[in-house]
Amino acid sequence: MTDVDVDPERNELSRWLADETLRLCQIPSVTGDEAALCDDLEARLGRLAAAGQPLTIRRLGNTLLVQRLRRPGRPLVGLFGHSDTVKPAASQPLRIDEAAGRVYGCGASDMKGGLAVMLRLLAEADALPYDLLCVFYDKEEGPAADSGILPLCQPEGGAPSPLAALDLALCLEPTDGEIHAGCIGGLQALVTARGRRAHSARPWQGDNAIYAALPLLERLRDRKRREVRVGGLPFYEVLTATTAATQNSRNVVPDRFVLNLNYRFAPDKEPARARAELLDFIGPGYDVEIVDEAPPGAVRLDAPLLRDWLARTGLAVAAKQAWTDVARLTALGLCAVNFGPGDTAEAHQANESVSVAALARACRLLREIAR
């Protein structure tokens, strides 16, 4: 590979991560169909534990909680990676390109490359200067309420969440090798414009619901992104129409036209305020149903462990202009950020890939979180 270091250890690490990422991509795991990949991960980690790595493995549905047994005086670092992907494109390559130094596959960047890094660190857990907890969870790409991470964020029989002891949490979402702090919140709303049904040959006898939505569509078209700075980082609030549909025959004037609006809002805003602002923007004359809601993630860069790591590595810090499970983790009071080897521009692409050099760099940096 052109991007593999001549150092033997780095060369071995790069090849291991490339091979493992491809292997994970070869196991389909579209949202809702993660069982086969979870089985594979559980068996692989079980063999690691049987070989002497002091790991505990707990499975909840298709989510795995894997932890190195605690050692006195060691900080506890959590790594989080979702096992599901979007549906692959028909043209998606599945291979290692040695010349380009990239692994191609659905989920390579988002985020099976991150899972490969987690597996490598678990294999090295005994040698790390911190204790490691890894969560491989399902259904991240689907509705927020279905995510496999949710049970781990809840108290268990009166005890706190098993994640509560973490000194630092990192979601290995694609971040271009930077630290992405916080994350924007999201609302999905179905907005219905009403009309009156008629024969398309005599449209004057009806009232076309599509045309009733034109004032709203024009305001959406003209709405500019709004920059909001939180913790010194720029987040952008955007409101976008993402789907539009009628349910009538082609020779019928529609009496119902439904838009899906996707509202992304900054970390300084509670969902209730975001809902109120969305309803105010839509205005009267439409039926509105909020169908999905995800709170934003707080900008948390205050943990001593994180501050020291940033100072030693010089990692760039940017805002996370997307929703991630950092929102759930900061809601637990944890210091949590996004840091992963994937490319943000590669996520969900038809020819998704990840850089082998980025995989190895992320693994080396994560080894150095604590001294």
20, 34, 110, 140: which one is catalytic?
140
Residues 6+ apart with CB under 8 A from 228: 234, 235, 236, 237, 266, 268, 269
Q: Is 268 designated active site? A: no
Q: Report the amino acid identity of residue 159.
A: A
Burial of 106: CB neighbours in 10 Å, binned 0-12, 13-18, 19+: buried
Task: Please report the sign of the dihedral spanned by the C-alpha atoms of residue 283, residue 284, residue 289, residue 295.
Answer: positive
- Give whole-number Cα distances, 23 to 2, 4, 9, 72, 107, in Å: 21, 19, 21, 36, 11
Cross-strand bridge partners of residue 136: 64, 81
φ, ψ of residue 81 to 5 degrees: the values are: -145, 130
Tokens of 319: 């805002």
DSSP letter assigned to residue 111: I
20, 34, 84, 167: which one is catalytic?
84
| Strand 336-338 versus strand 168-171 pairing type | parallel
At CB < 8 A and 24+ separation, what contacts does 25-29 make?
Answer: 25/94, 25/103, 25/104, 25/105, 25/106, 25/107, 25/108, 25/112, 26/94, 26/105, 28/85, 28/88, 28/106, 29/83, 29/84, 29/85, 29/107, 29/138
Q: Is 140 designated active site? A: yes
How far apart (Å, rounded) are the C-alpha atoms in residues 140 and 138?
A: 6
How far apart (Å, rounded) are the C-alpha atoms in residues 331 and 333?
A: 5
Query: Which residues carry out catalysis?
Result: 84, 140
